[in-house]
Structure 1
Amino acid sequence: MTGFGLGLRGIASAALALYAAGSTTAAYAASAAQPGQTIGLPVGAQLPVGLYFVNLSSFGTRSTRPGDTSTNVNLPTFAWSTPWDIAGGRLQFFVTQPVVAATLQGAPYQSGIGQPLLAAQLAWDLGHDVGVSYFFGGYLPIETRFLTQSASLTHRFAASYTGQDWNLTANLLHGIFLETRSPFGALYPDYLNLDLTAAKKFGKWQVGAVAFGSSDLPTGVSSYRPQGQIAVGGLVGYNFGPVNLQAYLTRDVVQRNYRGRETRGWLRVIVPLYQDKDEVEPNRTLVTRRQAE
């Protein structure tokens, strides 16, 4: 399952851009995709045919001066795994509408609607519990001023191994902005994110290690200070039958131009609204098509 996430990487940095745009300092910006948003999901594998609701909620605090910068990101998503194949890959669609709240260095919280994501994906079952996928979509423009505003394209390449109750997944996310500047002067760099998962199921439980990294791509603007981070953490999940829950905690071990390291807690709920009974046994929450057999 890929693309459930839509996020706003460096939401606090976008808020910083509003302050910087009216000053002599270089403007900070934020990308459209939140690093870590696909952790825990076998994003290279096919979904069983059906309709799903997924929400990923996260709260993070970054140590900055004079006060901490905190963000809450909620990513409600509808995912439709169709019965149709194109070039041997299962066709899947995703729609996400985020809701975000943020405080910059202890200032009052601001909240607003983030950029909607519309996307499609092809996922191929290569056999031997290996799957790969290609995801392509777009973030629509918005006018919420403390968030990323410009429209952008995203494409993602994922590979998953799901045999023997493992989820070994790598997902590379590449974002391309259609406009390089916001109306307030913030620079929007293209970006690369990499989400990594190594988790194993033990009955209804799932535990594992996770990591993600992100980096702005070159902008050609000498005054811009590119942002990047590497974070690691742990994941635990539980299958309640019709509903799956996952929680993970991450901490930056390396950061560049974020003014501090972030600790973030994440909670994901996966609710199958409809599943094809020919592909999924009763009381089996979606994981992958093969694991549901």
Structure 2
Amino acid sequence: MQATKVAAVAASIFGLAAAPATAGSSAQPGQTVGQAPGAPLPVGLYFIDTSSFGSRDIAPRGTDSNVNLPSFIWATPADIVGGRLQFVVLQPITASSTRGAAYQSGFGQTLLAAQVAWKLGHDLNFSYLLGAYLPSDTKIVIQNPVLHQRFAITYNGDGWNLTGNVLYGTFFDTRSATGTYYPDFLNLDLTATKHFGKWEVGPVAFGSIDLPTGDPSYARQGQVSVGGLVGYNFGPVNLQAYVTRDVIQRNYAGLETRGWLRVTVPIYQDKDAPPAASPVIRKF
């Protein structure tokens, strides 16, 4: 596969994050939009960094946050029941200012995960990710360990990227050492972009919700956000930028506008490795 194509595929795999502790989700809502995590990567090692800055409209002073998500993805030549085995390690860095207070920053929860991605045929792909967010000592992020699963489906024919990615987190312990309650969470990231040569454009959207809890005093949070993405493949480096805006929010005290920038660099590709396994459902 040519370097430019490899970078484009790598750019479409997935971002992984830890979010500020004001949200119930360890996986930052919206972090995988613009990507195609259902599709297997070519064999190799990839560096992907997704950085975002958001401001939430809260009078008289808003709440701002930056989440930086450097990650390494190793797409192995191994097949698991016909799908490509991939490993992920991520160490996020976060900074936030709550209602005009001084910024605080630190390392977020480290994510370790494995993913299997299958080609289903007819340009459809599906992947399953299983991993864990490790405990963190940084007070501005979620601190308790989380079992994390993702289910992604991607259509990538004719230059399209039509992807839905469900992110589900289950806390091992719903109470932090300081008494903060952490609900299980469910996120949905959506992408509908089209490639025109080296350019990529299209709408994106995401939603997040805290799942029902056993604590009636906890105010469950949720949001729905929409936006647009533009990307350019420099070959081998791929860049994507997008802006999102909340249209619905619950218990966040205000709507958030967030700008995102992603860079993908293939560090190493095994050009002699076999391609991903044949489609499970063959074309007729």
Contact 1:115 1:141 in 2 (8 A): yes
Instruction: For 1:7 and 1:183, locate their aligned partners in 2 and report how far apart those are by CA, in whole Å.
Output: 18
Q: Equivalent residue for 2:18?
A: 7
Q: Equivalent residue for 1:172?
A: 166
How far the C-alpha of 1:279 sits from its partner, in A, is: 6.8
SS of aligned partner of 1:229 = strand
Show the 5 A alignment for 1:112-191: 112-191=106-185
Instruction: For 1:253 and 1:183, locate their aligned partners in 2 and report how far apart those are by CA, in whole Å.
Output: 34
How far the C-alpha of 1:185 sits from its partner, in A, is: 1.0
Q: Equivalent residue for 2:261?
A: 267
SS of aligned partner of 1:274 = strand
Q: Equivalent residue for 2:7?
A: none
Instruction: For 1:278 and 1:166, locate their aligned partners in 2 and report how far apart those are by CA, in whole Å.
Output: 27
2:234 to 220, 237, 240: 240
Does 177-186 or 271-280 show the bigger shift? 271-280
2:96 to 83, 102, 107: 102
SS of aligned partner of 1:56 = strand
Q: Equivalent residue for 1:255?
A: 249
How far the C-alpha of 1:227 sits from its partner, in A, is: 0.1
1:229 to 223, 227, 231: 223
SS of aligned partner of 1:180 = coil
The C-alpha deviation readout for 1:52-86, integer Å capped at 9, x for no partner, is 00000000000113311000000000000000001
Q: Which 4+ stretches in 1 moved above 6 angstroms?
A: none
Contact 2:24 2:184 in 1 (8 A): no
TM-score by length of 1: 0.88
How many residues are treated as equivalent by the alignment? 265
Q: Equivalent residue for 1:20?
A: none
Instruction: For 1:30 and 1:184, locate their aligned partners in 2 and report how far apart those are by CA, in whole Å.
Output: 15
Q: Equivalent residue for 1:82?
A: 76
Indicate the RMSD between aligned Cα atoms, in angstroms.
1.6
Instruction: For 1:40 and 1:222, locate their aligned partners in 2 and report how far apart those are by CA, in whole Å.
Output: 36
How far the C-alpha of 1:12 sits from its partner, in A, is: 6.0
How far the C-alpha of 1:183 sits from its partner, in A, is: 1.1
The yes-or-no answer on 1:64 pairing with 2:63 is no
Q: Percent of aligned pairs with the same residue?
A: 62
**For structure 1, which runs of at least 5 residues remain unmatched after alignment?**
14-28, 281-288
